[in-house]
């Protein structure tokens, strides 16, 4: 038995036989020099390939829309946008004319430059867009006469697909009834392939180094899409144990799905509000589908990161108002730009210092870039006519910077002459905010706790250093006590408080937070069904007892043992009985 560790990006358990898909994403095409008189012909070949690719993508987008939904179809809308990007088209043509090379050669060079640029970006969301660029390039090449094989159409039932990287189009080609799971070396949680895998209900693990060489064709694999553990095993005992775990998970998932439209109320009658974390407008469609109460966190920086210039007021109004309109009067908490750290838009790439995680971030950065902030605030306030929008500032340091941000809101409100000023909240995710919590609570209409960054700063660990900052980092007693202090202070002042970090999507940690006094949780919609089901089986007094023990623990290990024991005692949850 051998165990490989990766990152889970689509939940579930699967066992099957490995098929190692070694196809190189780069095509072996015959790059040729051309004569001056052939330039027009190459331009025409390129234009024809673009038109055919566009027609094909429109059909794919419509198919995905009807089978999976609008959110997933937007992946291929993004591909269409790149395909029609005038700057990209112009660069390819200019290289053909300047270097006297074939369209294949020019396309390969331009795509290579763009992928190289994206590979150096720290932000995962931006890095993942490289796969979309490759996918579009491959589609154009196909229509230039460099077709690719259709081997993914013919995979046998019970297969676990192992690849260096899967592009979105690859994922759509696979037969979901034959593929039990996906394992890749490259890709992350925000990749479009991961999004499609989750929509298709296929467990997926990524980030396994050298997976294509570590795993042999025909190997028997056990894939844990909850933990990211892949086991290479031919032992019957391993398979039997895994089958029991899979059966329990499947039973649990079925039950959770059946309860997804019920109210999230504890066994003793305490209502818990579940909200969604989203990064793109189309993701708001998942909120009603999962019976959530609105958007707890709209990460707006995803609208800015890939652009060479900031979006206009009108472009932002379109994005924000579409979410507000979809959700009618449900609350939509729009977080203003959280730039800095690993989030650096192309149009501001020169503004960031060498140590961005400890430099200007979040609200501090926005107050330095006031014009950018004012444009966003004007767009948010204009969009408020379409629904129930609330403004949330990230990385608030204390009362002083929050007061300056509130002044910016009122200035933006005066500029657009809207009757409604949205409620204004602060994200508490820095040690400084803990020491100025009273001043912040005096100014804020609500607060939200960003557990990811709060844990990073309290534990002095890089948020991206997996070995230093695990998924259980919130269970460190210091982090729990900080969160408890925030909750107690907010509740004393009747200020609504929500958890919007990744911890909210973990059922057992969510229950621990409820025991600490939390009544609002915001998470990825895909996580909400299991969180809801577990909460419905709990009594608040039991959760308060769990929280008391956790807060008095002396080490993270003690807290982990407590929550694991709690989970084991939840027989209905654990076994789905």
CATH number at residue 386: 3.20.20.60
In-domain check, residue 247: yes
Torsion of CA 206, 345, 347, 385, to 10 degrees: 120
Q: Are residues 492 and 498 in contact, defined by beta-carbon separation less than 8 angstroms?
A: no
Listed residues 143, 173, 198: the one ending a domain: 143
Terminal CA-CA length for the chain: 31
pLDDT at residue 301 is higher than 70: yes
Residue closest to 263 by CA, chosen among 232, 220, 296, 293: 293
Task: Please state the pTM of the whole predicted model.
Answer: 0.72
pLDDT at residue 473 is higher than 90: no
Residue 55: C-alpha distances to residues 31, 39, 49, 70, 77 (Å): 26, 25, 10, 18, 12
Q: How many domains does the chain have?
A: 3
| Same domain as 347, residue 433 | yes
| Same domain as 425, residue 369 | yes
Query: Residue 75's domain spans which residues?
Result: 36-143
Q: What is the pLDDT of residue 358?
A: 47
Q: What is the pLDDT of residue 537?
A: 92
**Residue 102, Cβ neighbours under 10 Å: how many?**
22
Distance of alpha carbon 70 from alpha carbon 283, whole angstroms: 8
pLDDT at residue 355 is higher than 50: no
Known active-site residue 500: yes
| Same domain as 66, residue 9 | no
pLDDT at residue 563 is higher than 70: yes
For tokens 């036989």, the residue is 17
Q: What is the pLDDT of residue 131?
A: 80
| Same domain as 117, residue 157 | no
Among 155-169, 432-446, 506-520, where is mean pLDDT lowest?
A: 155-169
| Same domain as 196, residue 103 | no
**Helices and strands per DSSP (H, E), number in the chain:** 23, 16
Helix axes 556-569, 540-551, angle to 10 degrees: 160
Among 277-281, 448-452, 558-562, where is mean pLDDT lowest?
A: 277-281
Listed residues 203, 225, 255: the one ending a domain: 255
In-domain check, residue 185: yes
| Same domain as 408, residue 465 | yes
| Same domain as 382, residue 456 | yes
Which residues pair with residue 120 across a beta bridge? none
| Same domain as 303, residue 183 | no
| Same domain as 299, residue 183 | no
Residue 82: band (very low, low, confident or very high) from pLDDT cuts 50, 70, 90: confident
Listed residues 215, 231, 255: the one ending a domain: 255
Among 67-76, 219-228, 430-439, 547-556, where is mean pLDDT lowest?
A: 67-76
Most confident listed range (21-25, 112-116, 539-543)? 539-543
The catalytic position among 192, 333, 413, 476 is 192
Tokens coding 71? 């959110």
Distance of alpha carbon 299 from alpha carbon 297, whole angstroms: 6
Tell me the average pLDDT across 452-477.
Answer: 70
Tell me the average pLDDT across 393-414.
Answer: 96
In-domain check, residue 30: no
pLDDT at residue 279 is higher than 70: yes
Known active-site residue 302: no
| Same domain as 316, residue 213 | no
The catalytic position among 264, 500, 511, 538 is 500
What are φ and ψ of residue 69, in 5° steps?
Answer: 130, 170
Residue closest to 428 by CA, chosen among 420, 439, 419: 439
* Burial classification of residue 135, based on how many CB atoms lie within 10 Å of its CB (0-12 exposed, 13-18 middle, 19 or more buried): buried
């Amino acid at each position: 038995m051998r165990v490989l560790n990766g990152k889970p990006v689509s939940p579930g358990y699967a066992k099957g036989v490995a098929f190692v898909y070694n196809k190189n994403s780069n095509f072996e095409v015959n790059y040729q020099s051309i004569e001056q008189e052939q330039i027009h012909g190459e331009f025409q070949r390129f234009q024809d390939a673009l038109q055919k690719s566009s027609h094909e993508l429109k059909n794919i987008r419509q198919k995905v829309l009807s089978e999976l939904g609008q959110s997933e179809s937007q992946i291929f809308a993004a591909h269409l946008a790149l395909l029609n990007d005038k700057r990209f088209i112009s660069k390819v043509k200019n290289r053909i004319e300047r270097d006297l090379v074939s369209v294949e050669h020019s396309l390969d060079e331009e795509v290579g430059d763009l992928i190289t640029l994206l590979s150096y970006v720290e932000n995962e969301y931006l890095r993942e867009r490289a796969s979309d660029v490759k996918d579009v390039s491959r589609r154009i090449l196909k229509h230039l006469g460099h077709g690719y094989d259709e081997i993914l159409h013919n995979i046998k039932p019970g297969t676990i697909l192992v690849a260096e990287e899967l592009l979105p189009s690859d994922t759509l080609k696979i037969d979901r009834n034959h593929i039990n799971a996906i394992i890749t070396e490259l890709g992350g949680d925000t990749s479009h392939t991961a999004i499609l895998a989750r929509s298709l209900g296929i467990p997926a693990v990524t980030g396994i180094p050298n997976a294509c060489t570590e795993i042999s064709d025909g190997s028997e694999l056990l894939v844990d899409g909850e933990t990211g553990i892949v086991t290479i095993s031919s032992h019957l005992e391993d398979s039997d144990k895994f089958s029991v775990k899979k059966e329990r998970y499947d039973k649990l998932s079925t039950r959770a799905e059946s309860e997804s439209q019920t109210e999230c109320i504890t066994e003793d009658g305490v209502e818990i509000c579940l909200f969604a974390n989203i990064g793109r407008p189309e993701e708001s469609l998942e909120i009603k589908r999962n019976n959530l109460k609105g958007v707890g966190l709209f990460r707006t920086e995803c609208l800015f990161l890939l652009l060479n210039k900031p979006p206009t007021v009108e472009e932002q109004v379109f994005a924000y108002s579409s979410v507000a309109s979809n959700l009618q009067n449900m609350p939509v908490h729009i977080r203003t730009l959280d730039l800095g750290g690993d989030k650096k838009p192309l149009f501001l790439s020169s503004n960031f210092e060498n140590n961005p995680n400890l430099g200007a971030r979040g609200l501090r950065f926005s107050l330095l870039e006031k014009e950018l902030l004012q444009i966003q605030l004007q767009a948010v306030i204009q969009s408020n006519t379409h629904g129930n929008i609330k403004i949330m500032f990230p990385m608030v340091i204390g009362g002083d910077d929050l007061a300056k941000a509130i002044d910016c809101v009122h200035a933006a409100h005066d500029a657009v002459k809207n009757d409604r000023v949205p409620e204004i909240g602060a994200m508490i995710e820095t040690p400084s905010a803990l020491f100025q919590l009273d001043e912040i609570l005096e100014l804020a209409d609500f607060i939200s706790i960003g557990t990811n960054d709060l844990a990073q700063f309290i534990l002095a660990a890089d948020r991206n250093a997996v070995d230093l900052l695990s998924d259980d980092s919130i269970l460190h007693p210091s982090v729990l006590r900080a969160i408890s202090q925030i909750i107690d202070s907010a509740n004393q002042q009747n200020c609504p408080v929500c958890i919007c970090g990744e911890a909210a999507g973990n059922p057992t940690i969510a229950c621990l937070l409820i025991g600490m006094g939390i009544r609002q949780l915001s998470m990825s919609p895909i996580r909400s069904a299991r969180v809801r089901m577990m909460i419905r089986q709990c009594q608040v007094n039991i959760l308060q007892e769990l929280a008391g023990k956790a807060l008095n623990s002396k080490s993270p290990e003690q807290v982990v043992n407590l929550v694991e024991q709690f989970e084991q005692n939840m027989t209905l949850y654990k076994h789905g009985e």
